[in-house]
């Protein structure tokens, strides 16, 4: 009998997606259902020398289309075209949807987010006429304004994913507005980017001359694994079709804890680790009763902006609001870097 890999085990319990725009990952480690991405992933891809031609073609497209989309800058449009082109590349090697994230600078504007999402859908049709719109999902940060944009888009037939989600309140609202997916962040986003420095002194006397500086990565001490299980249980209780698609994972152990979740998007490095034999030594949180309370069926935020905002702001003593703010800021930083790539290449 063949030894089961960690990836095989996860696929037996959960729909596995790939968190990348690298087609080779989908080819070698697939099959995958969906492909997810964001500005950070796009920056990593467009920084590769092999993507120079795609950048050039995207700039040419942007110049040709700019009169149609003159409300945004040339570099911003070129970034969107490039993300669409990379998503279309991934679409050849997966079975389901490609997820493209809106410009994070629009996270607090419903109108701009809706226009951005519709423009992305139109760009898919420009680059590949006839591409099935049902295979496109627009990722939108889970601010109030972002959720209202999801509501408008879903009513228009555009599938959405509410990303950077850290609280049950956001999950409740996402189901109410009809999001197709939500992406709870198991770890706050900075675990993937932030390196901090700590100073250690041997003795007070050697404070200046013998200071040791050690570099370490930030570690999230409040992982939201239990929240993922609680949200899915809640959605089942209200018969919501919204799918839970956790993101921002840092270890295979976290992945095994989530066996049984609707979808799970996994980065290339962790996918490679999952090809190893599965030891079966981690009990999934979906095999036990939820450790967090499930909201009552009548809980609603969709018509109460103030109640949503105060509930969200008070979650975890304000930590969840901070996590969302930092995630949006991080993605804005990567949006800036992407536009600089286009400006430099122009």
Confidence of residue 220 (pLDDT cuts 50, 70, 90): confident
What is the average pLDDT across 12-21?
A: 98
Say if strands 159-165 and 181-184 run parallel, antiparallel, or are unpaired. parallel
78 within 8 A of 60, measured Cβ to Cβ: no
The edge-to-edge listing of strands for the beta sheet with 263-266 is 243-244, 181-184, 159-165, 136-141, 98-101, 35-36, 15-19, 263-266
- In this predicted structure, the answer to whether residue 206 has a pLDDT above a threshold of 70 is no
Confidence of residue 270 (pLDDT cuts 50, 70, 90): very high
- From residue 126, give the alpha-carbon distance in Å to each of 53, 54, 60, 74, 166: 18, 15, 13, 16, 35
Q: According to CATH, what is the number of the domain 6-188+222-345?
A: 3.20.20.70
Rounded Cα distance, 84 and 308, in Å: 33
- In this predicted structure, the answer to whether residue 256 has a pLDDT above a threshold of 90 is yes
Rounded Cα distance, 323 and 343, in Å: 30
Q: Give me the chain's average pLDDT, please.
A: 93
The helix (H) or strand (E) run that includes residue 198 is strand 195-201
Rounded Cα distance, 255 and 218, in Å: 19
Q: What percent of the chain has pLDDT over 90?
A: 88
Say if strands 181-184 and 243-244 run parallel, antiparallel, or are unpaired. parallel
pLDDT tens-digit readout, 307-325: 999 999 999 999 999 999 9
- Determine whether 8 is exposed, middle or buried from the number of CB atoms within 10 Å of its CB (0-12, 13-18, 19+): middle
Confidence of residue 207 (pLDDT cuts 50, 70, 90): very low
Bigger pLDDT: 218 vs 122: 122
Confidence of residue 216 (pLDDT cuts 50, 70, 90): low
Q: Write down the pLDDT at residue 213.
A: 35
pLDDT tens-digit readout, 149-163: 999 999 999 999 999
Q: Write down the pLDDT at residue 167.
A: 98
Q: Where are the domains of the chain?
A: 6-188+222-345
Rounded Cα distance, 98 and 192, in Å: 22
- In this predicted structure, the answer to whether residue 274 has a pLDDT above a threshold of 80 is yes
Q: Write down the pLDDT at residue 199.
A: 33
Rounded Cα distance, 264 and 261, in Å: 7
């Amino acid at each position: 009998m063949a030894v089961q890999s960690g990836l095989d085990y996860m696929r037996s319990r959960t729909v596995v997606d790939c968190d990348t725009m690298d087609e080779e990952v989908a080819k070698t480690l697939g099959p995958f259902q969906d492909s997810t991405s964001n500005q950070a992933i796009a920056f990593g891809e467009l920084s590769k020398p092999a993507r120079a031609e795609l950048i050039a073609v995207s700039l040419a497209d942007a110049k040709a289309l700019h009169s149609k989309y003159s409300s945004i800058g040339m570099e911003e449009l070129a970034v969107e075209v490039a993300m669409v082109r990379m998503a279309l590349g991934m679409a050849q090697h997966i079975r389901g949807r490609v997820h493209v994230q809106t410009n994070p600078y629009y996270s607090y504007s419903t109108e701009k987010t809706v226009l951005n999402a519709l423009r992305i859908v139109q760009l898919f049709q420009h680059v590949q006429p006839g591409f099935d719109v049902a295979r496109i999902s627009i990722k939108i940060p889970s601010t109030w304004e972002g959720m209202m944009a999801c509501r408008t888009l879903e009513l228009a037939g555009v599938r959405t994913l509410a990303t950077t989600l850290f609280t049950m309140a956001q999950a409740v609202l996402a189901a109410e507005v009809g999001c197709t997916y939500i992406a709870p962040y198991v770890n706050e986003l900075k675990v993937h980017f932030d390196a901090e420095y700590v100073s250690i002194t041997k003795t007070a006397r050697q404070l200046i001359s013998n200071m040791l500086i050690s570099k370490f990565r930030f570690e999230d001490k409040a992982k939201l694994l239990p929240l993922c299980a609680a949200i899915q249980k809640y959605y089942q209780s209200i018969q919501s079709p919204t799918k839970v698609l956790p993101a921002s994972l840092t270890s295979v152990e976290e992945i095994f804890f989530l066996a049984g979740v609707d979808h799970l998007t996994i980065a290339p490095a962790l996918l490679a680790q999952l090809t190893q034999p599965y030891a079966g030594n981690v009990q999934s949180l979906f095999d036990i009763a939820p450790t967090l309370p499930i909201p009552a069926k009548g809980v609603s935020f969709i018509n109460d902006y103030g109640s949503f905002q105060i509930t969200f702001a008070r979650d975890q003593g304000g930590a969840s609001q901070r996590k969302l703010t930092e995630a949006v800021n991080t993605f804005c930083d990567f949006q800036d870097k992407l536009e600089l790539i286009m400006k430099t290449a122009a």
